[in-house]
Structure 1
Amino acid sequence: MPILKLETLDLTKDQKKQLVEELTETASRITGIPQEGYYVILKENSLDNVGSGGKLLSERT
């Protein structure tokens, strides 16, 4: 049971669906493991929970 994990900023439902489909298809093609064996976990982080260069992303212009 392979698990693919991706941390990202907020996504739409359509973007999530496309990511799950394409990540699964690609991993299956590369590894030969059937798509049904994969789990994809998406973790969304708001701009208030991510920092870069000493500032929250929500505070950057």
Structure 2
Amino acid sequence: MPVISVEIGPLTSEVKEELIKTLTKTASSITKIPESSFIVLVKEYPADAIGVGGIPLSKR
């Protein structure tokens, strides 16, 4: 089973659902592997645990 892993900042349940749906559909279309074979893992990090340019995302 193919696994798609995404590491990202906080998301709403609705956005995660759309992300999972779209990633699965797109990967299936490209690889010709059935959508039912895909596993999508979404790992969320709080904004203060992500740094961009030396500044926490929570302060940007």
Both structures adopt the same fold (TM-score exceeding 0.5): yes
Aligned twin of 1:30:
30
Q: Which residue of 1 aligns with 2:20?
A: 20
Task: Count how many residue pairs are aligned between Structure 1 and Structure 2.
Answer: 60
Provide the alpha-carbon RMSD of the alignment. Answer: 0.8
TM-score, structure 1 length as denominator?
0.91
Gaps of 5+ in 2: none
TM-score for both structures, normalised by structure 2: 0.92
C-alpha displacement at 1:38, in angstroms?
0.2
> After TM superposition, which residue ranges in structure 1, 4 or more long, deviate above 4 angstroms?
none
Cα distance, 1:59 vs structure 2 = 2.2
**Match runs of 1:1-61 below 5 Å:** 1-60=1-60
Find the aligned partners of 1:27 and 1:52 in 2 and give their Cα distance: 28
**What whole-Å deviation, never above 9, does each CA across 1:8-58 have from its counterpart, x for those lacking one?**
111111101101111000000000000010000001111110111112111
Q: Secondary structure at the match of 2:43?
A: strand
SS in 2 for 1:33: coil
